Amino acid sequence: MMAMNIPMARNNGLHVGNPLAMLDNYCAIGIGLFGQATIMFFQALRYVFRGEISWPEVMRQANMIGIGSLYVVGVTGLFTGFAMSLQISKELVAFGADTAVGGVVALALIREIGPITAGVMVAGRVGSAIAAELSSMVVSEQIDALKIMRVDPVQFLVVPRFLAALVMIPALSIYSMFLGLAGAIFIAQAKTNIPPETFLDSVKQTVVGTDFITHIVKSVIFACIIIFFSCSIGLSARGGAEDVGHATTRAVVWTMTIIFIANYIVTALSPLHT
């Protein structure tokens, strides 16, 4: 079992008054956290390939990650579609390009907004919960008890969450995308009198299979980021109950930050942008 020892930001006079020192410190923390998450990823894959999986726990985590996030992801996706359609349809109609509204909105939702919306909302809801739960187990010495019983915390705690997230987060992303499209169709008709048929015809002419592949790839990468960064932060907690709150905050901040960085990298490397 790897040692969980991620350096934490030092809040002293040097770092508060020296932006370069602060940047160097946070870069060191990020690199260390990335290394811990990468090691944990390969450890989890080893258990998956061996078939050492607790399927009841996977189902429980799938319910917590997926079903529990339906409402927040759905509302966010729907109103994102409302806002995008409202802005884009007004601008394009003003230039006489009303037949392009559906394609533009759909591309944005499929390539960017759908995966990002699901990823960020799940990171805020699930990532924070995972970090809080695991850090509480560290503080209460439950992790030490698992090790004494020769139970690897990665197998017992991380693998079920990893497998559940691999299925549920892409599903939530697709769900968010379709709700956003439904909201966009409604607003386009209500505000700019674009018929649903015109909107959907533009979508068919614009969207290609590569867009959906990019969507799924981003969702899978975001799932890995949320699970492994949150678990690494949670299992690296030290100290008392106060560190549980710090771990929860760090999990949200770091997972969301890495999600946006990864989103840019995948977009830049996708066939449509190379």
Average pLDDT over residues 80-103: 87
Q: Is 198 contained in some domain?
A: yes
Sign for the CA dihedral angle at 105, 201, 94, 186 comes to negative
Q: DSSP character for 140?
A: T
Would you state the pLDDT for residue 238? Answer: 78
Q: If you search the block for the tokens 């066939």, which residue do you land on? A: 271
Would you state the pLDDT for residue 80? Answer: 92
CB-based contacts of 113: which residues, under 8 Å, 6+ apart? 77, 80, 81, 84, 176, 177, 180
Would you state the pLDDT for residue 64? Answer: 92
Range among 235-239, 242-246, 250-254 rated most confident: 250-254
In whole angstroms, how far apart are CA 79 and each of 72, 104, 186, 205?
11, 17, 11, 25
How many independent structural domains does the chain possess? 1
Summarised one tens digit per residue, pLDDT across range 19-30 is: 777 777 778 878
Would you state the pLDDT for residue 26? Answer: 75
Would you state the pLDDT for residue 6? Answer: 52
pLDDT at residue 261 greater than cutoff 90: yes
Q: Is 243 contained in some domain?
A: yes
pLDDT at residue 254 greater than cutoff 80: yes
In whole angstroms, how far apart are CA 223 and each of 116, 131, 182?
11, 15, 25
pLDDT at residue 11 greater than cutoff 50: no
Average pLDDT over residues 241-248: 82
Q: Is 5 contained in some domain?
A: no
DSSP string over 184-247: HHHHHHHHH---HHHHHHHHHHH--HHHHHHHHHHHHHHHHHHHHHHHHHHHT--SSTHHHHHH
- Give the separation between CA 211 and CA 112, rounded to whole angstroms: 10
Average pLDDT over residues 1-19: 51
Q: Is 4 contained in some domain?
A: no
Average pLDDT over residues 195-216: 90
Where does the pLDDT of residue 5 fall: very low under 50, low under 70, confident under 90, or very high at 90 and above? low
CB-CB neighbours of 195 under 10 Å: 12
Q: Is 236 contained in some domain?
A: yes
Average pLDDT over residues 229-258: 87
Q: Among 66, 82, 166, which Cα is nearest to 121's?
A: 66
Residue numbers of the domain that contains 211: 15-273
- Give the separation between CA 42 and CA 19, rounded to whole angstroms: 35
- Max CA-CA distance within the chain? 70
CB-based contacts of 254: which residues, under 8 Å, 6+ apart? 30, 33, 229, 233
Would you state the pLDDT for residue 15? Answer: 54
pLDDT at residue 123 greater than cutoff 70: yes
Q: Is 37 contained in some domain?
A: yes
Q: Is 218 contained in some domain?
A: yes
Backbone angles phi, psi at 164, to 5 degrees: -65, -40
Q: Among 260, 266, 168, 163, which Cα is nearest to 210's?
A: 266
| Secondary element (H or E) of residue 153 | helix 153-153
pLDDT at residue 31 greater than cutoff 90: no
CB-based contacts of 249: which residues, under 8 Å, 6+ apart? none
CB-CB neighbours of 90 under 10 Å: 14
